[in-house]
Chains A and B, each alone.
Chain A
Amino acid sequence: MANLGRAGTASASTSALRLALPSWLRDASQTQRALSALVVLSLYNAIFTNNFLTLATLRVNLTQVATIVIVGVGMTLVIATGGIDLSVGALMAIAGMVAPKIFMSERGPLDSPWVAVPLAIVVPILVAGAFGVFNGTLVTWFRIQPIIATLVLFLGGRGIAKALSDGKLVEFRNPNFDYIGTGRPLGIPVQVILMAIIVALAAWVMRGTTFGRYVLATGGNEPAARLAGVPVDRVKIAVYAISGLLAGLAGLIVISLNTSADPYRVGEGMELDAIAAAAVGGTVLTGGRATVVGTLIGASIIHQIRYTLISHGVADGTTRIVVAATIILAVLLQWRGD
């Protein structure tokens, strides 16, 4: 009965919005709406934007969206538990600064690329993952609000990245390492393949594993989950760790694409892009309802809006405003509940 009551108030507060929507749009889930929006955008571009329907354009667009999606998947898991991770951009920078230190060192066994390159990939990702565990520890053991807990590394993490590179831009040429940013097995960019694997894996984990159900139960009703035996603290630490690992990987992709590591620029603003992608895709920011595939769609929408406006010569300022408006619209639609 109380539920009925709540649904009643929610519908009253957004009745104006309800009326403005055609019924098929009203009854669809946020993810379905996002998918329709993506299809409409793509159709528009197919007709009105030159060279949109070329393999090269598709490749460029997917390459650009891949890092946001990879980080967005981790963000989606964190948000699913009712948290948020503001540190992802800074963790990308840390991973991006650690990698060149390894493959450029040429000391001892690191002289061999067979040792140095795998280490330069694995170690930075693990370092970023360890910082994720740090975030999770602040959130669980010390009961610090996620936004504040991850703000610590949002600010401090970039400081660590600067210290690692003495505040300088590190330029490098390392064809073996650059493969993760520029390699194209079967013509598909490596980071796009990574993105696809990560999205598929995460979507399956969320649906089919105990861990995935625990993540959603924790965000859906933490006290209830705890009483049902869900190891809430461990689940939370795990999602921040995963978010850190994925941010680390994204950081490596960015530096290998740029063949340079800039402690100031790597991952800059990524936290907000990732949150926006999750929100537009249908993940509810209060936790308990999350969709990894939605995040892929959300990131694609935001990216394609940017691409469309820029390719039609719209000024950067206007583009940002339109993107912001899209996010507001998505959140408004989410409000409607379900």
Chain B
Amino acid sequence: MTEAQPRRDFLLEMEEIRKIFPGVVALDGARLCVDRGEVHAIVGQNGAGKSTLIKILNGAYRRDGGRVVFDGRPVDFHSPQQAQSAGVSTIYQEINLVPFRSVAENIFMGREPRRFGFIDWRRMNREATEILGRFGVHLDVRQPLMNLNVALQQMVAIARAVSFESRLVIMDEPTSSLDEREVATLFDVIRGLKASGVSVIYISHRLDELHQIGDRITIMRDGKTVDERALSEISKLEIVARMLGKELGEVRREGATGFTKRDVQTTSAPLLEASGLRRGRALQGASVAVRPGEIVGLAGLLGSGRTEVARVVFGADSVEDGTVRFEGQPAAFHSPAGAIRTGIGLCSEDRKAEGIIPYMSVRENLTLAALPTLARNGIVDRNRQREVVDRFIMRLDIKTSSPEQRIRELSGGNQQKVLLARWLCLNPKLLILDEPTRGIDVGAKAEIQGLIDELADQGLGVLMISSEIEEIVEGSDRVTVLRDGRTVAEFDRDQISQDAIITAMAHGEDAAVHPPVGT
């Protein structure tokens, strides 16, 4: 046995962490080391493995390999409760407290102070008041939690975590529902924790916050830790590049995707014009335009509002402000059905949750959106249906034993082809593709990318959302970059480059105003 000697006295060391879910390697070679009394940021794209790593740390998942050393001792927590009593507390994105119970009850839930076997209410309320007071929060702890605003509820969650005498507090996207003032309060609390020697793991996709509050950063990608550094040594731009797995200034490899360069005349009138879209915190003035025959890439980090733009345009979500025009006409769709009738299709990012109807056949899934056009007086014309299905199975080369096979039995790539066919058989004018090649094997990926090209050549307008920078760079005729729910940059064909897009994703239009901290 070779015990690696720690370089320094870390509070937490996780090395070579491996986690396999049936059919998927979620983590392989993940590493996370947290100093005593530091705020340690973790960043990574969707699916990079951040949450899995945290769940292994706090005992929600069991690891399949690797070592975890906490406070000098190897540990293997079996449950979050066990981790908590050892000093590791987790505060989740969705605050998991009980809204109808009092603030004090929430802080002490599961370990209420007792007297003669009964809850000692007086002591519980007194101690709860005291703990909250440490964070500068003064309120009546007997009121139900649901009376408090989200920020205060977050404070209660933190108070609960700290009252366990935690040594390490994990915060998963703690600011996602807070406004600026509340964020400032939260940061004060985090600094207070740090001063008292507690370490904080801080997961966030808001890059601006990391430099404000963090000491060091761990960057994850594809289940691995790809970088680990002091935040003072790394710029926002570098963070984004590392998350995406790109070196800045790297020569673009041609042909990494199934896209080919196309000649597009971008002079025709726009098919879709959406401008100034606003919806809650997710969209704060997003704009995008697509012309017929054009592939427009919509880029941005996690949480930048890409999917939200797609849903609003498609009528799946309502919009608070902004205008959508389709073929020059005002078009505010109240439901997907309306958008579909006008000639828009949307392939959602989560194939399983929002795409396939698992127990229905390939035939049923493929023609679901087209049923109104394949039916007379509500009765489906079986012959026409079969004809359409056969044609698209051939055209897209969908590998299925028969049109009657259940779609859940198909591979991810073939499921995606069925979902593409669901729209193509309607002859749409605009297709919105949210992560069209996520979770698909390399071969099918190139095929789908080639198909998107071909469709655009035939005059289809495509709005393509992707986290893969190659896909955006090589596939798009124009690129729109979103950041914090706003359109911050647009690039035409000859301006599209990986560096330009990454820079816009990291800094947006604020680049000139706020130079990256620490460079």
A3 touches B379 (CB 8 A): no
Residues on A with beta carbons closer than 8 Å to the beta carbon of B360: 216-217, 220, 288
A209 touches B378 (CB 8 A): yes
B316 touches A221 (CB 8 A): no
Contact of A227 among B23, B346, B372, B412 (CB under 8 A): B346
Can you name 20 extra interface pairs (CB under 8 A) apart from A209-B379, A220-B359, A227-B336? A5-B23, A8-B22, A208-B379, A208-B380, A210-B372, A210-B378, A213-B380, A217-B360, A217-B364, A220-B358, A221-B358, A223-B354, A226-B336, A227-B316, A227-B348, A227-B355, A228-B340, A228-B369, A230-B337, A231-B337
- What 0/1 readout, one digit per residue, does chain A (1-43) give for beta carbons within 8 Å of chain B? 1111110110000000000000000000000000000000000
Minimum C-beta distance from B106 to chain A (A): 25
Known: A2-B352, A210-B372, A214-B371. A224 touches B357 (CB 8 A): yes
- What 0/1 readout, one digit per residue, does chain B (17-60) give for beta carbons within 8 Å of chain A? 00001111000000000000000000000000000000000000
B201 at the interface (CB under 8 A from A): no
Minimum C-beta distance from B196 to chain A (A): 43
* 26 A-B pairs (CB sep. < 8 Å): A1-B24, A1-B439, A3-B352, A8-B22, A209-B375, A209-B379, A210-B379, A210-B380, A211-B378, A217-B364, A220-B357, A220-B360, A221-B353, A223-B353, A224-B348, A224-B357, A225-B357, A226-B316, A227-B354, A229-B340, A229-B341, A229-B369, A229-B372, A288-B357, A288-B358, A289-B359
Residues on B with beta carbons closer than 8 Å to the beta carbon of A9: 22
B368 touches A217 (CB 8 A): yes
B380 touches A209 (CB 8 A): yes
A221 to B390, CA, bound (A): 24
User: Which among A2, A8, A211 has the greatest number of chain B C-beta atoms within 10 A?
Assistant: A2
Residues on A with beta carbons closer than 8 Å to the beta carbon of B380: 208-210, 213
Chain B interface residues toward A at CB < 8 A = 21-24, 314, 316, 335-337, 340-341, 346, 348, 352-360, 364, 368-369, 371-372, 375, 378-380, 382, 408-409, 411-412, 422, 439
7 nearest A-B pairs in the assembled complex, by CB-CB distance: A5-B22, A1-B23, A220-B357, A229-B337, A229-B340, A228-B369, A228-B368
A292 to B359, CA, bound (A): 17
Minimum C-beta distance from A12 to chain B (A): 10
Residues on A with beta carbons closer than 8 Å to the beta carbon of B353: 221, 223-224
Residues on B with beta carbons closer than 8 Å to the beta carbon of A220: 357-360
For this complex, into which size category does the number of interface residues on chain A fall? 20 to 34
Minimum C-beta distance from A338 to chain B (A): 8
User: Which among B316, B346, B360, B375 has the greatest number of chain A C-beta atoms within 10 A?
Assistant: B360
Q: Which residue of B lies closest to A288 (CB)?
A: B359
Q: Which residue of A lies closest to B381 (CB)?
A: A208
Residues on A with beta carbons closer than 8 Å to the beta carbon of B368: 213, 217, 225, 228-230
A-B pair count, CB < 8 Å, reads 100
Residues on A with beta carbons closer than 8 Å to the beta carbon of B335: 226, 229, 231
A 23-73 contacts with B by CB, 8 A: none
Known: A5-B22, A8-B22, A210-B375. A217 touches B357 (CB 8 A): yes
Q: Which residue of A lies closest to B357 (CB)?
A: A220
B316 touches A210 (CB 8 A): no
Minimum C-beta distance from A143 to chain B (A): 15
Minimum C-beta distance from B361 to chain A (A): 11
Residues on A with beta carbons closer than 8 Å to the beta carbon of B314: 227
User: Which among B364, B378, B439 has the greatest number of chain A C-beta atoms within 10 A?
Assistant: B378
Residues on A with beta carbons closer than 8 Å to the beta carbon of B355: 224, 227
Minimum C-beta distance from B425 to chain A (A): 12
A208 to B357, CA, bound (A): 18
Contact of A5 among B21, B340, B382 (CB under 8 A): B21
Contact of B24 among A2, A209, A211, A231 (CB under 8 A): A2
Minimum C-beta distance from B368 to chain A (A): 5
Known: A214-B371, A220-B357. A3 touches B408 (CB 8 A): yes
Residues on B with beta carbons closer than 8 Å to the beta carbon of A4: 22-23
B364 touches A213 (CB 8 A): yes
Minimum C-beta distance from A223 to chain B (A): 5
Residues on B with beta carbons closer than 8 Å to the beta carbon of A226: 316, 335-336
Residues on A with beta carbons closer than 8 Å to the beta carbon of B378: 209-211
A224 touches B23 (CB 8 A): no
Residues on B with beta carbons closer than 8 Å to the beta carbon of A230: 337, 368
Residues on B with beta carbons closer than 8 Å to the beta carbon of A289: 359
